[in-house]
Amino acid sequence: MHRKVAFIIGKKRLKRNVAFTISIYILVAFSIIAIFSPVLTPYDPYTITGTPLEKPSMGHILGTNDLGQDIFSRLIYGTGITLFVGFVGGGLAILIGTFVGIVSGYYGGVIDEFITRGIDLLMVIPMFPLLLVLASFLEVSMTRISILMGILGWTMFARVIRSQVLSLSEYNFIYGAKAMGASDSYIMIKHILPNILPLIIVKFVFAVQTYMIMGVGLGFLGLGDPTTISWGQMINRAYTNGGFALGMWWWLLPPGLIIAFLSIALSLGGYSLEDKINPRLRREIEIS
């Protein structure tokens, strides 16, 4: 019985490893597409290269939009900004969250109380509506919007990391380091950070996924810089300018399917990583 369970879990872990590798490959492939998009696109995405609303053909693989721009080229060009928003927004949120979480969890006491209460207060503010309002009123570039997203979204991560650091700080090796006279910042960087790094990486993968979806969502709602080509803006255009009513699936579907594909890949990677580091499934905590 026991052996059987162990076998199944082992097999499952193997499968998850495969999933993780695949998702890394997909991410690398998309990054390459993003970097080399000027080379890969058959047309300039901004210029009018055909008659409006052309059907897919050899000349235009995915046809043209209502302005006569090549849809395929726009799709390729949209990759970069989607990845950028995900990585910058998610990265910033994780960075702030990790910093606040480690400080709060390590020092404990009054500092921890102050930070935790502060986060509780901040979490009452509806962040997503606030992001929408800021994005629409400030009329800023997607770069600034992704920074805004990071600044507005770190609270959740700070909470998770804080609770992890809190229990880690009770371990003997931390007390030992303290007894040997190591400074607080040294302990936080050399001892705490490496131990919570796996958790941070998992949260980062999910953050990138969430922020990518959100970035495309903002574009879909018609927010953000209209001159930047993004998948969200493409969906919005196809939806409101007739792609939907005319049944032009090659205009509406590709950007949505591609964000869904990327999101699934990232989320599979995230779950397989989580599976790896989750002590609940391993039943032992490894302290390096």
Partner 1 sequence: MRIEYVIKRLFYCFLAFFVGISITFVILHLMPGDYISHLLINIESTISPEASEAFKHKFGLDKSLTEQYFIYIDNLLQGDWGYSFEYGVPILNIVVEKLRWTLILLIPATLLSLLIGVFIGAYFGWKSGSKLDLSVLNVMIFIRAIPSYWWALMFVLIFGFYLGLFPLGGYMGIGVLESGTDYLDILHHSLLPMITLTLCSIPGNYYLMRNSMLLTVGEDYIITARGKGLSEKDILFKHTVKNAMLPMVTMITLELVFMISGSVFIETIFSWPGMGMLMIDAMNARDLPLLQGIFLMDTLLIIIANFTADMLYSCIDPRVKVGE
137 vs 286, beta carbon nearer partner 1: 137
When asked if residue 207 is in the footprint of partner 1 (CB under 8 A), the reply is: no
When asked if residue 283 is in the footprint of partner 1 (CB under 8 A), the reply is: yes
The answer to whether the Cα torsion of 234, 237, 243, 245 is positive or negative is: positive
192 vs 208, beta carbon nearer partner 1: 208
When asked if residue 285 is in the footprint of partner 1 (CB under 8 A), the reply is: no
The binder of partner 1 chosen from 64, 209, 230, 233 (CB under 8 A)? 209
CB 232 within 8 A of CB 251: no
When asked if residue 67 is in the footprint of partner 1 (CB under 8 A), the reply is: no
The binder of partner 1 chosen from 39, 110, 124, 179 (CB under 8 A)? 124
Residues 6 or more apart from 191 whose CB is under 8 A from it? Answer: 173, 174, 177
When asked if residue 266 is in the footprint of partner 1 (CB under 8 A), the reply is: yes
User: How is residue 52 written in tokens?
Assistant: 């409006």
92 vs 214, beta carbon nearer partner 1: 214
When asked if residue 1 is in the footprint of partner 1 (CB under 8 A), the reply is: no
Closest contact distance (angstroms) between CB of 145 and partner 1 is: 15
Residues contacting partner 1: total by CB under 8 A: 44
Q: Which of residues 68-107 bind partner 1 (CB under 8 A)?
A: none
117 vs 190, beta carbon nearer partner 1: 117
Beta bridge partner(s), residue 64: 70
Residue type, 222: G
The binder of partner 1 chosen from 32, 125, 189, 285 (CB under 8 A)? 125
CA 265 centroid distance within chain: 12
When asked if residue 164 is in the footprint of partner 1 (CB under 8 A), the reply is: no
Closest contact distance (angstroms) between CB of 207 and partner 1 is: 14
Binding mask 238-257 for partner 1 (x = CB under 8 A): -x----x--x----x---x-
Residues 6 or more apart from 169 whose CB is under 8 A from it? Answer: 105, 106, 108, 192
Closest contact distance (angstroms) between CB of 234 and partner 1 is: 12
The answer to whether the Cα torsion of 10, 15, 18, 24 is positive or negative is: negative
The number of residues in the chain equals 288
130 vs 189, beta carbon nearer partner 1: 130
The binder of partner 1 chosen from 75, 192, 213, 248 (CB under 8 A)? 213
Site of interaction with partner 1 (CB under 8 A): 5, 8-9, 12, 15, 120-121, 123-130, 132-134, 136-138, 209, 213, 216-217, 220-221, 235, 239, 244, 247, 252, 256, 259-260, 263-264, 266-268, 271, 280-281, 283
